[in-house]
Structure 1
């Protein structure tokens, strides 16, 4: 195992960011309060590790994070539910970009390293990321989202 992740972050006690990401995805399946943060976790992770994502989704993932930082996780959950319902009950598939119109697009060539917050720095106690509650966990995920938006928009 290398001592640094592709995003430039040092490996943590669980390993590189990917190890943290997959552990989070597994843990959140059993915790509805933790699962509320699923979208920001996925968007942040894939934007910090673009080799593991798909370029066609990066712009909307960047906008999801801006929505989170502007309106909070409840808005993210509402917009996600709207997107799912829209795709389930209409013949039009894909994103309704209306909720994201006020947010900046991902700058061209925005791939970066050196984020001020990363997954491999998340604390884990007793094998859990929510050892001190979902609210504290959410603040840590929001810090990673903010670091992602700041770095990719060149505001670090």
Structure 2
């Protein structure tokens, strides 16, 4: 007997949705945002939240920075996160090779070292998708869904005991 998508469970603890497990949603989001610059604005929080909810798919050395970026996004919003990202891009264009500038993220807590929380109240498997699109209800609605996933991710990681 093969597993139907609704019977499978993702490694983040979520039950699979109509598209499958979170990785299926993640790849569908990445593909759709390539053709939609407005949707692409949420690329950074999508990547950070996905990797923090699925740390086995991430490079461990970047998770702390991704956690801090997600905290910035939850705290100050998308525009603040995009400004920090633009600062990093501009810095890289000027030949600074000393690595990522963590100064804009210093006020945020480091990633807890107690291991992944494993469960999140909002996941990618729960994202609404209509007609094959994540933005069929509009970009602001999509942004609110991504924000809910980001908030749930930060909340669960903060609950990890170190």
Interval containing the TM-score (normalised by the shorter chain): over 0.9
CA displacement 1:9-47 (0-9 Å, x = unmatched): 000000000000000000001111110100000000000
Give the distance between the partners of 1:33 and 1:45, measured in 2 at CA. 19
Aligned equivalents of 1:126, 1:101: Cα separation in 2: 41
Aligned partner of 1:24 in structure 2 is 29
Deviating above 4 A after TM superposition, structure 1's stretches of 4 or more consecutive aligned residues are: none
The TM-score normalised by the length of structure 2 is 0.92
For residues 66-145 of structure 1, the aligned pairs below 5 Å read: 66-145=71-150
Q: Rg bigger for which structure? A: 2
Provide the C-alpha distance between the structure 2 equivalents of 1:152 and 1:135, rounded to a whole number of angstroms. 26
- CA distance, structure 1, for counterparts of residue 38 and residue 99 of structure 2: 27
Aligned equivalent of 2:40 = 35
Match of 1:64 in 2: 69
SS of alignment partner, residue 113 of structure 1: coil
Please give the secondary structure, in 2, of the residue aligned with 1:43. Answer: helix
Q: Does the 8 A contact of 1:110 with 1:153 survive in 2? A: no
Q: Find out whether 1:153 has 2:158 as its counterpart.
A: yes
1:4 counterpart SS class: coil
Q: Taking structure 1 as the reference length, what is the TM-score of the superposition?
A: 0.96
Cα contact 2:117–2:159 (8 A) shared by 1: no
> Structure 1 CA distance, aligned partners of 2:89 and 2:70?
18
The unaligned stretches of length 5 or more in structure 1 are none
SS of 1:76's equivalent? helix
Report whether the alignment pairs 1:44 with 2:87.
no
Shift of 1:92: 2.1
| Equivalent-residue separation in structure 1 for 2:83 and 2:54 (angstroms) | 26
Structure 2 gaps, min length 5: none
| Residues 87 and 93 in structure 1, CA contact (< 8 A), matched pair in contact too | no
Paired residue total: 155
Match of 1:51, SS? helix
Superposition deviation, residue 93 in structure 1: 4.2
